Chains A and B, each alone.
Chain A
């Protein structure tokens, strides 16, 4: 039979990002898929030579806007490991809270996009409506909706007041209720099952051998999650990974859906167990002066914007106080990192690994970032041959592709 080569991307309605797949199709069946990457490659690992190790936090946060908090967390943990810094317990819990909120917003975003990929637009709208509530929490506690720059080497730069904690708990409870209302649609609806069940099957052995990570691996029956290693406060929260066994698109979306609810629980648990104390340890900055940097200020204009934009919405209560506690972090020079470290955290898309090498100067020698989508592309190439052309968007989205992560 005649073979046709069909380009998929880089600009495609279903993909928010430029990924190019060269699909060889026979009739309506895909027989081969070849990726072309590089549309988002910036080369930011190399920027460690022009930015010092503190400034690199801002760079790694922009590896991917969706999971920025976790990139910074992984990087900071690595530098802390090299410098032998112990992070205060309260900071660990705060990192957990923001990290899990990031997971919730990322999964809701993905669930919406996934629904959109098979044409269920109203479900897309529903999930994104709930997601805005999480974005509000981020904005009220960190000052930015997406790129939440809270992690610094030695701790976090913001604290949560008891009122803010109570408000977050209220908002999280409403979000959970709203997500639960969508359970029967995303898990039981005829359309959803028709498009997802049995599509893009990745067997248990395949998933492991091809190096799949995150919900891809857990959707195929492996109970592996980097959170089990107990970074940040996960060691004290009694975390159990969520596993599904079918290995198809439906299993992966079920993993992500259940993880969303689990992350909301983890946020509440972390708030309940959060100890009092410092939010950051004094560590060396890269600068040569030892004047403490004080970060803090009034957020009056943001509060006004909040009232203006959201006055028509049902909220539990307006956020209590958006002023940032003054003097949140002080940085003092005590040394520069020297050594190597490998750290892993669980991003919404899977396990994220940083390899850091520092040679004792203020610049890192090497920052190597292995992002989850990079590991999930080989399994994608294995899943595509044999599927129908109409299922390609669904299968591609089921790996939760984050191309800006992949290419950096």
Chain B
């Protein structure tokens, strides 16, 4: 009964944590633009927070490189389950224009499992919001809530 209530809350108001993982800032500012009055993701109950331990959804922008892959893994491990990971932008999905550079490992999925890919260079705020909504469907399945 209580668990059901908590699960409902998770779906209705997912908290996201954003990690810039070697992005060119293009996608980062679009993630931030989602918070601002024009797009305003808070109207869907989505809240951006700074602490991965409080988060349900991880937004990752940019390519993974040799140094930040440890940080990314660390943040992912700190998040409580059930969790969803969204890779944003061409770089997050596959490495983008940088995939041939020497310090680049590749897309986010080389390090942690990714649930939703949001393409674009940079991804539009609408696409990012759609991505979060798609990720929630996956979380619902994980929780055994079929709605």
Contact = CB atoms under 8 A, between A and B. Distances in A.
A45 to B, nearest CB: 9
Contact of A42 (B26, B28, B103): B103
Interface in A31-90: 38-44, 46-47, 50, 58-59, 62-66, 68
Chain B CB within 10 A, most for which of A10, A113, A135? A10
A65 B122 contact: yes
A11 B98 contact: no
Interface in B58-109: 62-63, 65, 67-68, 71, 75, 96-98, 100-104
A313 B40 CA distance: 14
B20 A47 contact: no
Contact of A146 (B18, B103, B122): B122
B52 A43 contact: no
Contact of B65 (A16, A39, A65, A109): A39
A265 interface: no
Contacts of A404: 22-25, 62
A123 B72 CA distance: 31
A408 B96 CA distance: 15
Contacts of A303: none
- The dominant DSSP class at the A interface is loop
Nearest to B31: A16
Contact of B100 (A50, A68, A129, A309): A50
A147 interface: yes
Chain B CB within 10 A, most for which of A16, A112, A135? A16
Interface residues of B, number: 42
Contacts of A66: 25-26, 29
B50 interface: yes
A63 B24 contact: yes
B142 interface: no
Contact of B126 (A58, A62, A146, A309): A309
A42 B19 contact: no
Nearest to B120: A144
29 contacts: A11-B52, A13-B51, A18-B22, A18-B68, A39-B71, A40-B20, A40-B65, A42-B63, A43-B103, A44-B101, A46-B101, A62-B26, A64-B25, A65-B26, A65-B122, A66-B29, A68-B24, A112-B36, A113-B32, A124-B36, A128-B32, A128-B33, A128-B36, A129-B37, A129-B38, A135-B33, A146-B30, A309-B38, A404-B23
Interface of B: 18-30, 32-33, 35-38, 49-52, 62-63, 65, 67-68, 71, 75, 96-98, 100-104, 121-122, 124, 126
